[in-house]
Amino acid sequence: MRPAYLILVCVCAFAQPRYDLVLKGGHVIDAKNHVSAVRDVAITGNRIAAVDANIPASDARRTVDVSGLYVTPGLVDMHVHVFAATMNREYTGEDCVRPDGFTFRSGVTTVVDAGSSGWRSFGVLRDEIINKSKTRVFAMLNIVGNGMGGRMDIEQNTKDMEPERTAEVAKRNSDVVVGIKIAHYAGPEWIAVDRAVQAGELAHLPVMVDFATFRPERPFQELVLKHLRPGDIYTHTYLQAVPMIDKEGKLLPYLFEARRRGIIFDVGHGAGSFSWKQAVPAVKQGFIADSISTDLHTDSMNAGMKDMLNVMSKFLALGVPLDQVIEMSTWHPARQIHHEELGHLTAGAPADVAVLRVVKGDFGFVDSARLRLKGTEKLVAEMTIRDGRVVWDLNGMSSQDWDHAPK
Ligand SMILES: [Zn+2]
């Protein structure tokens, strides 16, 4: 019996294709691995199995021809608002949306809820959204215990800014909490920022700042030169209120100084936080944000922001090369939130993949002041793979034609 049994095992081993899915002939852009070339990508289970110049179709259970398209790591959007657990305004923060309805259709596989919840409300975000979504959802805890709470005044309550409690909940949920957020604080003191940094220190996490009301008592320059630590993140980089360009149109040198200190500048587009008057001269003079993020919520997605790929397309229109735009939307944000297992296509990494098309034509991109910049390229998500599964397929590339399907 024994030899026959062995032969049977061998035959089965040869008959089984090595890979579940091969994406064939696409241009792979993987910044971490310094790849920007035509490559095949093989997936087995929920992992990247191989990236190679030629992976035979016979090695795969299913092969999809993606020639003419770009194959990138699943996009990482590190500033969204997805605490739409109930229609109760108590939770909906900045008009939150549910992640799966907005992510996959634009190539996004990982999002970070940026402070919609604080230590008091995080449990509901975890139970209702993080645990129930197909999108990988991380969170930054608001330094305010009640989070955004659906009302701006809740975020003004300095009594509810408790670094110890915030850090405690962050540590207890270290699998999904990736930072501390401070947002919308309007007072003249530094207390809100400093408490968030204190929580960040206790929990060993980066802090993300939405500086909100810019006041002479607490100049923005001091935020990025003194109060934040290396690795902390300023979101809303191209907000009109950020001191960026002097009267002669020249970029203010402190921005580069802040960057040399290790401060991270994130786009955080939002409804009101992206201005061409800032972005065009800044990018021209070499001040390109480290990461692209949307600040997704119902107001931003129906205004100039729209979705992750639209914001990325804006950077193409600004003249930033596609490889860099992809890096700003994959590997950079993954590193910034200390999840270096994401944002690349190394064999063994989670099989989160975006297949993108660059469409050529006449396009218009609108900023927060409703001003338009024209462009000739727009990114579209043809296919999104999350955890090895096709979760978005715009033109059914992974499907069989109906008239060839078995009866
Ligand atoms: Zn936000």
Token look-up 């549910």 returns 98
DSSP string, 225-279: IIISPTT-EE--TT-TTS--B-TTSPBPTHHHHHHHTT-EEB---TTTS--HHHH
| 107 vs 360: CA distance, rounded Å | 19
Whether pLDDT at 6 is above 60: no
Per-residue pLDDT band for 212 (boundaries 50, 70, 90) equals confident
357 CA from centroid of ligand 1 (Å): 28
196, 201, 249, 244: which is closest to 220 by C-alpha? Answer: 244
Structural contact between residues 123 and 83, judged by C-beta atoms closer than 8 angstroms: no
Structural contact between residues 251 and 244, judged by C-beta atoms closer than 8 angstroms: yes
3 CA from centroid of ligand 1 (Å): 64
114 CA from centroid of ligand 1 (Å): 6
36 CA from centroid of ligand 1 (Å): 32
Contacts of 194 by beta carbon, 8 Å cutoff, 6+ apart: 227
pLDDT, one tens digit per residue, over 256-315 is 999 999 999 999 999 999 999 999 999 999 999 999 999 999 999 999 999 999 999 999
H/E stretch holding 48 reads strand 47-52
pLDDT at residue number 91 = 61
Per-residue pLDDT band for 3 (boundaries 50, 70, 90) equals low
148 CA from centroid of ligand 1 (Å): 10
- pTM equals 0.95
Within 10 A of 249 (CB to CB), how many other CB atoms are there? Answer: 9
| 325 vs 342: CA distance, rounded Å | 16
Whether pLDDT at 89 is above 80: no
319 CA from centroid of ligand 1 (Å): 26
Per-residue pLDDT band for 16 (boundaries 50, 70, 90) equals confident
Whether pLDDT at 58 is above 70: yes
97 CA from centroid of ligand 1 (Å): 12
CB-proximal residues (5 Å) to ion ligand 1: 295
| 138 vs 83: CA distance, rounded Å | 11
Whether pLDDT at 56 is above 50: yes
82 CA from centroid of ligand 1 (Å): 10
Whether pLDDT at 93 is above 90: no
pLDDT at residue number 10 = 47
273 CA from centroid of ligand 1 (Å): 10
Lowest-confidence region among 105-114, 152-161, 276-285, 388-397 = 152-161
Whether pLDDT at 174 is above 70: yes
115 CA from centroid of ligand 1 (Å): 7
Length of the chain: 407
180 CA from centroid of ligand 1 (Å): 13
N- to C-terminal Cα distance for the chain?
Answer: 40
Lowest-confidence region among 89-93, 243-247, 396-400 = 89-93
Whether pLDDT at 87 is above 80: no
95 CA from centroid of ligand 1 (Å): 10
141 CA from centroid of ligand 1 (Å): 12
272 CA from centroid of ligand 1 (Å): 10
Whether pLDDT at 364 is above 80: yes
117 CA from centroid of ligand 1 (Å): 11
| 397 vs 400: CA distance, rounded Å | 8
